[in-house]
Structure 1
Amino acid sequence: ASSDATNIQTEIRRDGDEYVINGTKWWSSGALDPRCKLFIVMGKTNPESNRHTQQSQIIVEPDMPGVTIKRNLPVFGFDDAPHGHAEIEFKDVRVPVENVILGEGRGFEIAQGRLGPGRIHHCMRTIGVAERALEKMCERLLTREAFGKKISEHSVWEQRVAEARINIEMCRLLVLKAADMMDKVGNKIARTEIAMIKVAAPRMALKIIDDAIQAFGACGVTTDSGLARSYASMRTLRLADGPDEVHNRTIARLEYGKTGARMHAREAAE
């Protein structure tokens, strides 16, 4: 489905007291963990319905006939074991009708309901990753020497460290604002702030991690420092739960809406 959940092609067809599922899912995170005993599968139960009520979510057990975990999908070469990200095939998988969640046609609604809190959770963790990268970078700069003095004494690094701290704190405040608004007025009204943090936080973390890698030199791109793993994770986050482009579109359209409303009000007053 990529960034548009309404593109989902997996079919969930009613057949008496069962649903029959056919389709393939990519990036099924956690499916490879031996503790995973249930899948929540989203697919189309009514392709003729409104585009946001075509989808349903249903519980599927991994050992049901027709369920095949085809492979793990590595992220920049990291396998994320034991969690993993699986490609899963569903071929004529029969599931009891009572396994559907909340009823037919509510899959998109369920998915949207968790996206706001999920994005805030991602951004909180992202700030933690950025903090750790900055800490590693400072430790490296204070302990390594080049051209007769500590790397930290080269002025370019003062600039990078200062900007890293400034950007972390700016993102932290924006995340706090989004979380506060979500608690007080709900996801819908806070959607601008949620979209902004989802764009800003990973970009901020990636810049700091990239500077930290530079401070470590060749060691930074190995698994020794942990920075390569952090970079892979944060780069993936610019796609997970909606790519930057979708969030930027949301921000821009809401901004256009506010400006349009002000223009209309001025015209009405005249």
Structure 2
Amino acid sequence: MKVRDKFKWLSLGLLTTWLVLFVLFPNLMVLAASFLTSDVKELIRPEFSLDSYAKLADPLYAKVLLHSLYLAVVTTLICLLVGYPAAWLINTCSKPVQGLLLFLIIVPFWTNSLIRTYAMKVILGNRGILNKGLMELGIIDAPIRLMYTEAAVILALVYILLPFMILPLFGVIEKLPKSYLEAARDLGSTKLYTFRRVVWPLTLPGVISGCVLVFLPALGMFYIADLLGGAGNLLIGNIIRDQILVARNWPFGAALSVSLIGLMALLLLAYYRAMKATEGAKS
């Protein structure tokens, strides 16, 4: 066997081992725990039960799940509305300027998202930078309550996840054949019609990718809801954390995790089918 083939199989073996040990097994353990019984002393009693899944029908938890979906959908839509024009404008710049702008978009990744969330508290607080600036300009007379609101959670989610929308969109827009736009212009097509019939279908894979990359993390960023949203703006991740660390109800926390994983799997399946349909439409 050649050295190159040995290296390939060694790399695949190490990757497979890593995924099995640190992805497959932990998820199987969570799945198994969700079908067991909660115990005050031992945390989990090896007794089969569906009580944890039955509790998912509780209106309290269903409301939190729906609210999580709502916040994730709103965040995704805002990121798309902001990210699409931003990616398009970056693509119209010269190569050096493109590199600089992309660098500025990536720079926040050098700082932990938790630290950036704390920075949002400094900006949005009653005595924060935003309120002080508005009062100095005479726009408001008293501080506006921005902290511990739904808007604060959405704003922080958009701030942290916006790069995940811009980068895939920039990739597909950059590869957009300029000859198609020139042909549409020569045929007398309006800019709106060209966007609807040419640009949007060709950039749809980037739109779908960006939406998935924003929507899935938005469901589980519980620390943002903790720091900026208060008790009235919880995400499903907050409930999972509280069940595991506070209530010590591991089976129910595991059932919530399995439900969230199942929801993400359905979204990834929808993404896969949408990508296949897009490729079929192109061919």
What TM-score bracket applies, with the shorter chain setting the length?
A: under 0.3
Identify, as 1 or 2, the structure richer in helix.
2
Given the two structures, how large is their TM-score scaled by the length of structure 2?
0.26
Structure with the larger RCO, 1 or 2 (CA within 8 Å, 6+ apart): 2
Identify, as 1 or 2, the structure richer in strand.
1
